[in-house]
Amino acid sequence: MVPEIHYARSGDVSIAYQEVGDGPVDLVFVPFLSNLGQAWELPAWVAFWERMARFCRLIQFDKRGTGLSDRMRELPTLETRMDDVRAVMDAVGSEQAVVMGQMEGAQMTSLFAATYPERTSALVLYNPVARFTSTPDYPWGSTPDDWRRLVRDVADHWGEREFLEAHLRGIDPVAAEDPEYRSWYVTNYRLAASPAAAAALYRIMMDTDIRDVLPAIRVPTLVIHREDHRDASRYVAARIPGARVVELPGRGYLVPVGAEVAEETERFVRSLGEGLESDRVLTTILFTDIVGSTEMAAELGDRRWRELLEGHHARVRALLDSYRGREVDTAGDGFLATFDGPARAIRCAGAIVDSVHELGIQVRAGLHTGECELVEDKVRGIAVHVGARVAALAEPGEVLVSSTVKDLVAGSGLRFEDRGVHALRGVPGEWRVFAASVPA
């Protein structure tokens, strides 16, 4: 019997979700693609969920744009999907939960745990990857050309049995050998996403990279992987402080079913003590400052400059409020603000540039996403220095971002122009920066 399906409101979007079990711990499970109505037709999944529900309240949902959740023309970014997780948790009255993800869901849950440690009691990842596209320093995954070809094929052939079965054989040959699973897989994916939605999701997967996020995860973490996924999974685990790793025998990519996965998850969850308080979070830092402020102040005089500065501050603060930014500091003619989502931060920066231009002011803006220490109402850490140095590189009217920010906003519709690699004063290493093109 399919558990009751409910809906949570996330902004103006309805997110379909289910609750199974009533254990003392909440666990939010984030799969790749799902349709909550049809997913329960595969006995292997039912057995897995029922086994999980013996020790927790299992909460699962269809991502926006897929399954039984509201459909839209374009799929959301990782940060929008994090908003959906919080909306579902709020709807079921869960203040804090273990979050568990597989495949692309593991990327989103990793980002969620780093960004919202106060809502995350622990993190469980099954066969995780830091990115799906291979690079010279990350040899796992497909080449960029192979990914572009896959996105085209998904757009042209998604839903066709022959294509989906061939796709399954390519990513999980073990599951493909099971006729029951193969039939369920075809139906599930047809009902989970339209061809356009599936192509958009694969395009986001192609462009997303969470490598810089992993060291900022400060909650207890368990990485479970199969033998054939050892290298990519252990790469992820090695970069998460204190992560535990469990290797399970056998092959398989998509389906974390089987008693051993649930048993390892239960063992890990029961080993957790009281929730850890963390004063470190992943956040996006925004710096803005007025170009040529000293010269403008001298030309205008004290009174007119003060009036202009007041108008500038009022517009910046109104936009920070609109984009869910938090003002941290104002030093004369510049702002330091933080955001829980990089795409919102970029759009806010672009809106600030446009808005204050109407006052005859040009500003430059710089953004970086990284781990920060929270000290009362202030933020500290190397990420703050990186953001400041990136801002200093920006031209008048330009929004510059670090590569970390760019890698986390796949699917946002934002465009970027490479501004090269730079040594940032006082910051180790070299940093690639990009100019963001923000639609009005």
Q: How confident is the model at residue 274 (pLDDT cuts 50, 70, 90)?
A: low
C-alpha dist (Å) from residue 4 to 16, 20, 269, 330: 10, 9, 26, 50
Q: What whole-number percentage of the chain has pLDDT above 70?
A: 97
Judge whether 206 and 149 are in contact, CB under 8 Å: no
Tell me the torsion sign for CA atoms 45, 50, 55, 60. Answer: positive
C-alpha dist (Å) from residue 219 to 177, 236, 246, 436: 37, 14, 17, 32
Estimate to the nearest angstrom the gap between the alpha carbon of 102 and the chain centroid.
13
334-339 vs 326-331, strand pairing mode: antiparallel
pLDDT of the residue at 278: 60
Determine the Cα–Cα distance for residues 372 and 393; give it in Å rounded to an integer: 22
Give the pair of three-digit tokens for residue 301.
Answer: 């005089």
> Residue 227 has what DSSP assignment?
G
Q: What is the pLDDT of residues 17-59, one digit of tens each?
A: 999 999 899 999 998 889 999 999 988 889 889 999 999 999 9
Judge whether 102 and 30 are in contact, CB under 8 Å: yes
Question: Which amino acid makes up residue 7?
Answer: Y
Q: What whole-number percentage of the chain has pLDDT above 90?
A: 77
- Domains, the chain, ordered by start: 6-271 (3.40.50.1820), 280-437 (3.30.70.1230)
Q: How confident is the model at residue 276 (pLDDT cuts 50, 70, 90)?
A: low
Determine the Cα–Cα distance for residues 101 and 103; give it in Å rounded to an integer: 7
The pLDDT of residue 258 is above 80: no
> Residue 144 has what DSSP assignment?
H
pLDDT of the residue at 80: 92
